Each structure stands twice: as structure tokens, then as C-alpha cells.
Amino acid sequence: MLLLACTCLQALSAQQQNRLLGDPVDMSLDFKDFHNTFFFADKLASFDPVTVKGKISWKRVSLYTRQAFDVNTILPQDLKMLDFPGEAYQQNPELSFSVDFITPRTLRIRMLTTPVEPKPFDSPMLVKEPGKDTSWKYSKTKTGYEYQSEFGKLLIEENPFRIILMDANGKMLTDTRRWVDNDTTQVKVIPFNFIKKGIDNSREINPVFSLSPNEKIFGCGESFTKLDKRGQIVNLFVTDPQGPETSAMYKPIPFFMSSRGYGMFMHTSAPVTCDFGNTYVGANKLFMGDEALDLFVFIGEPKDILNEYTDITGKASMPPLWSFGTWMSRITYFSQKEGYEVAAKLRENKIPSDVIHFDTGWFENDWQCDYKFSPSRFSDPQKMINDLKKEGFHISLWQLPYFTPQNKFFTEIIDKNLIVKNSKGEMPYEDAVLDFSNPNTVKWYQDKLAGLLKMGVGAIKVDFGEAAPLEGIYASGRGGWYEHNLYPLRYNKAVADITKQTTGDNIIWARSAWAGSQRYPLHWGGDAANTNIGMEADLRGGLSFGLSGFSFWSHDIGGFVVSSPEQLYRRWLPFGFLSSHSRAHGASPTEPWLYNESFVKAFRESAEMKYKLMPYVYAQAKECTEKGLPMVRALFVEFPNDPGAWTVDDAYLFGSDIYVAPLMENTKGRQVYLPGGKWIDYQTGKTYDRGWNDIEAGEIPCIILVRDGAVIPHAKLAQSTDKIDWTNIELKVYGDKSIAKGLVCLPSNNILVTLVLNKKGNEYQVEKGKIDGVKYQVK
């Protein structure tokens, strides 16, 4: 028996070792290992309804298999504790449980799996300490305790223990699974539990909630698979998936929302695996690598949930106006001469643009980050920055947090203890990885970036960040198990803080993220393949990211990996320019003049469209920062009561009023689902009704529609955002409703103003939203 146990433990260890470096961690595997001891939430051992605190009795159970008709099924069996000395431990431990009411829509559930209270930790995921709400009213029930607010109800049942979440009308939203929810012949769903691992006695917790018929699940970060996560297994573990065509993620976020009207934020940085009805269609299993449960629960429609979630983890800061313009890039420009040439060509071809990005080649040695322009290829980088700034261009620079042995800083950062170490105190990888949990590292790093920002560099590309050593030891005192997923957040913050401090702008260009990273815009979708599938997956990723609390997002127009086929690039252009931020980047050529004159025209038309729409873009962006909304927005966020809106993942709303359906294949049109009421074609003026429509694209190869009754502010075309005339704004009214509404926000004061226009005869007049010094022209 001992030999068998050792062999099984070794097999488990080997299984973990077989995971390639960088692969996601699947937490569900630990809960399939019967060498672990299982504890199930059995009943309330004690509870104070005033403080909403108590203890749960966790029943010690073993799982075993039973053969029946040549099928092995799992059954539970009460387990007698064999720990020694027996009087020192509990057969069924009674462990702390509490509920805090944060707002009328938000509550926080916490549970421990050990008697030891965790040490206070200043979580970088939270923007502030959550508040307390006193509006939830308590009443005793036959089976337990009930708390009700204006928007929802929480029931806690004593024996067997169960948590039930309801809306204000009494509809059950979800509840925790119990043993009694299984039948007597087999265990289809292992209920709410935690395990004590046989390999090291550490704990991991597995909340299990019910899923209802037709329920849909959304969020979990920039996930490129089907937008509705129901039926999927999602690993929340930061990794480099080498593009958006797999289930792995650069930007996993431990947050999701349900179509039934609730959302959950798993406040942890340990690996998490979410089984959203994959192994059992009616169960939502959250396999968490954390020893404690800290779960925020939100009640409401999607807009309510996003607002509540981002109140806790932070809302996006407002990026500078110039960042919404065109970013011109490739991998890579190598010289000052190329920078001047690209700027000149953009202006010569009258392509509105604001940013030129230098990727991996601005150092003396390609990919070897030393924070200095190559002296052999940049004779006077300061002059270049100044000259291009006069022409309306900002400079963006690439860098990364890993240092190869050939890098000039390799020895220095090791000697100064600025890197992540292994348990031996040495380097875990060939490359030295900066430890952003170390304040000394952050200062060293920010000093390097500050030198560039003081030269006038506008933005820093925050590339990589997904490879923080899982087995590393960090200056925070925590291991990689908890620091790996936090690494992008700390990395994002370090760059955003020094950029804001030096230039005054809220801007980075980042690839990796975790919960809280939305405070530091912006992020892009990684290295998409130059294919229809790459484009489609990128859009799903952007929609999912927006449903995870991120307002701003971009992607490499045309794809990244190889030179983009012209017909694909043409179709990707309007999708790119009708995203919050627009960057042409990837393998050469990305510059339109290196294709043909016809393509230059197509590129110009999409860019001009966005620059004319800049008053709309800027106002919508401002509203997003105030409400936690995404610019690239799933239809159901605006139309939660339209069942069809919950099924669409290949079209989106750009802000609140513009509908965008990219052409995912080389066709002249496509079928689209239109929620709500009427929609007006932005290019042709044709009106379409709610429901499924076959629509042909206009001259710009994309379906672009405007909501009936929307006011879309436009500006006169300018070649850079600093040349836009904000004193003369054209208000275009779409449809013929008696009242039309829109938003406007001037960059000079960043105050969001609601526009209301009333129809009098055949003309519209501005009734609300007038701004001193701004002349409106209504069309």
C-alpha cells in the first residue's frame, strides 16, 4: 500500500512536471486526486446574524469508485480522521465564514480553510478598501437567515449549509451545490468543498454553484474562444498563447457575469480553473488555488455589474486625445531615417495619424533592451522627437522586463537583487526577470523609463509580462503561486505611474493583464494570425475583455505574424479604426503605400472616418471611464432584455450608438442581428429593422449602423488630433424620432455633456448640452 501511494504521488508530480513552461495550470486536476483529503461544507456550526459571521462545519470525506455495469462511478464515504495526536485536530473542522454587504448590489463572501487568519495584505487588485452598506435588512427564516436590499436577496441555510442568491423579485439567480442535490446512486457533482493536498498539506478551495436552463456566462478576461463561456473550461493563468487562436490568455481576469443578473469576482491571484457547466451542465465549479475564499458577488444588469465591479477594482483612467488617433508601426523600424520617412509618407498621403511606434529595433542590438537609442542609427533622437512632435506625431517605444545574459544590465540587476529568484536564491530562468514586487526594482526601472519620457517619448509599449516564474520567490514575501498572475498588474502600474508622473498622460501599450490592470490603459490583443480566424478570434477577445471591466482595447490591424494579405487587411481596417485605439502593426509591410494606390485610399478612408468621429469617440471614452463600460461593447450590454443580443459574438457596438459588423470573410456583405429598434446605415442612410438582416457593406468594407434617435457629433477632418477644431462640432441626427440624444466632451475640460435635441417641424434644435465657445451645426 505504501509503495502504491508513493507511486501515485510520483505520478502526480510527473504529471505536473509534464506541463511545458508557460502552459496554463489546470486546477481541476488537484480535485480529481483521491490522495487528497476532501472537506465539504456541511452545516453552520455557529452564526451571528447581526455581524453576519460564523463558522462552517466541514465534513471530512473520502471519495472512491464503484463499478456497475462496466462503468466506474464516484461515491462519497465518511472518513474517520487518522491524524495523530487525534486530540490535537478536528474530525470535521469548524472554520470561519463571513458576509459583508458592500453596496445594495454587492456582497462579499469569505471563508477560511484553516484556523489561522491570513495576514493583512494590501491587495493591488483593489482600488480601495470596500465600503459597508447598511441597507440590507435581516429576517429569520425556518431554515436559516435572510438579508434583503433594494436589488437582491441573500439566504443562508443552516443544515445542510447553502447560500442562495435571489433578485429583488425573488427569482433565484444561483445557489451553492450540496450532497443532497445528487441522487443516491452516483455523485454527478462534487459539491462545495476544499481539499488538503496529500503532497504538501496545503489547501485549495472549490466553490460550486448551480447553473440554470439557458443561462449564459461571460467575462474571464481576453478570452478568444466562444464569447458565452457556458460549457467551457477556462484556466485563469497568465500565459503567452502566441496569438488569439487558442484557449490560453495573455489577460485572464477572475471575474464573470451571468445572463441571469449576477456576477462574481474571485479576489485571488492564485491559478483558477472555471468549469462553467462543462463536466456537468448544471454546475459552475470554481477550482481555486487559494487557501481562502474571497468572493465578491454583484446583482443587476450588465451595466450595473460592470459599474460595481470597477468601483472595487478601479475604473480606467482617461487616455490622452492623441492616443485615439492612428498608430503606425511594424516589426520594426530600425532608424531615425525610417521615422522621418514614415512621418513624411503619412502626411504626403493625407492619412490622419498621431503616433509612430518603434518596436524591437531602436536599440543598438535588436531585442536587447538598454533604454537607449542606437547611436549608429539615431544620430540625434532628441531632434527627431522634437521634429515629429511639431508635425503632430508622438513616439512610442517597445521594451520588455526580461534580460538575456548578453544584455548590458544582466549582471547589474542580479547584483542589486532586482530579480525574481528561485528557492535556492538563484535565477530560475536563463533570463533575469525583474521583480516588480520589489520597490527598489520599480525605482531602478522607472528611472530608466523616465529618461526616455523626459525626452518627449509619448508612450511605452509594455510587452510580455506573462512569464513570471511560477516557482519563484518574490520580494513581497510571496511565492510565484500568488505572484505570477499579479506580475502584469505590477508591471502595468510601474509604467503607467512613471508615465503619468513625467508626462501627465494616462497611457501605456500593454499585452498582459490581471484584475485591476484596467486602471492603466491601454491593452492590445497580442500577436494575431493574418487570417480570417485570427481576426474573428481577436474580436471575441476584445468583447470578452470589455466584459471584464476594461474600457480600452486595441489589436494589430491586419494581423501580426506575416505580411497581411491585402483583401484581409482591407476588411480589418474598419474594425481597427472603430476600436478605441487603432494601430497598424506586424510583419512588413504594414504601411499602405507599400501595397498600392487603391489600398492607400482604403486606409485613408477608414482613418478619416475615425478622425471625423473623434468628438463621438472622445465622449464615449469619457463615459466609459465613469461607468466601467467598454468601447468595444457586446450588444447585450446596451440591450439586456433582447434575447438575441446575448447570442452575437461577431459584431459589436462601438460606444453606445454605433453598430459594427466586420466582414469576417472576403464577401460584399453579411447577415447581422440588430437589437432594439431601427438602425440607420452610416454609409448609405438606409434604415433596417430589429432582427436578422442581410446587409451589404458600403465603400468602406464593413457594416456600420447608427442607433435610431442617436446624435453623433463629428468634427472637420484634421491630419492629427491636435489640429481638430473643437469650437465647431457637427451634430448628425440619425432617424426621425421626436427627441434625439448624444454625448459630447471637450478635451480642454473633460466634462461629459448630454445632448438633447428636439424635432420641430423638419429640423432639430439643441435643447440641452450647449457649451460656451462651441458652435453646433445640426444635420
Q: How far is CA 588 from CA 71, 349, 582, in A?
A: 56, 19, 17
Q: Going by DSSP bridges, is the β-strand pair 775-778/728-733 parallel, antiparallel, or unpaired?
A: parallel
Per-residue pLDDT band for 507 (boundaries 50, 70, 90) equals: very high
pLDDT given at position 188: 81
Question: Mean per-residue pLDDT for 317-323?
Answer: 98
Which amino acid is present at 586? Answer: G
Question: Catalytic residue at 597?
Answer: no
**For residue 186, what pLDDT is reported?**
66
pLDDT tier at 64, thresholds 50, 70, 90: confident
pLDDT beyond 90 at 460: yes
pLDDT digits (tens, 9 = 90+) for 345-358: 999 999 999 999 99
What is the enclosing helix (H) or strand (E) of 488? helix 487-503
Average pLDDT, the chain: 95
The grid cell for 732 is 448628425
Quick check: 19 pLDDT over 90? no
463 is catalytic: yes
CA 772, CA 748: separation in Å to the nearest integer?
12
Question: Band of the pLDDT at 185, cuts 50, 70, 90?
Answer: low
Average pLDDT value for residue range 327-347: 98
Spatial separation of the C-alpha atoms in residues 464 and 749, rounded to whole Å: 35
pLDDT digits (tens, 9 = 90+) for 736-749: 999 999 999 999 99
Q: Which of 527, 538, 556, 681 is catalytic?
A: 527
What is the pTM for the complete model shown? 0.97
Quick one: pLDDT at residue 72?
87
* Percent of the residues in the chain that have a pLDDT greater than 70, as a whole number: 97
Which residues face 775 on adjacent strands?
728
Q: Which class for 425: exposed (0-12), middle (13-18), buried (19 or more C-beta within 10 A)?
A: exposed
- The active-site residue out of 222, 308, 311, 466 is 466
What's the pLDDT score for residue 16?
52
DSSP string, 94-152: EEEEEEEEEETTEEEEEEESSSSPPPP---TT-SS-------PEEEE-SSEEEEE-SSE
Confidence of residue 6 (pLDDT cuts 50, 70, 90): very low
Is pLDDT at 292 greater than 70 in this prediction?
yes
Confidence (pLDDT) at 395: 98
pLDDT at residue 121, as a whole number:
87
Share of the chain above pLDDT 90, in %: 92
Tens digits of residue pLDDT in 642-682:
999 999 999 999 999 999 999 999 999 999 999 999 999 99
pLDDT of 17 above 60: no
The answer to whether 541 and 632 are in contact (CB under 8 A) is no
Mean pLDDT, rounded, for 35-42: 95
The pLDDT value recorded for residue 547 is: 98
- pLDDT over 70 (residue 517): yes
Catalytic residue among 30, 204, 463, 536: 463
- Confidence class for position 13, pLDDT limits 50, 70, 90: very low
Least reliable range by pLDDT among 5-14, 69-78, 176-185: 5-14
Residue pLDDT, tens place only, 231-290 = 999 999 999 999 999 999 999 999 999 999 999 999 999 999 999 999 999 999 999 999
Using an 8 Å Cβ cutoff, are 526 and 250 in contact? Answer: yes
User: What integer is the mean pLDDT of 197-213?
Assistant: 97
R_g (Cα) of the chain, nearest Å: 27
State the pLDDT at residue 430.
92
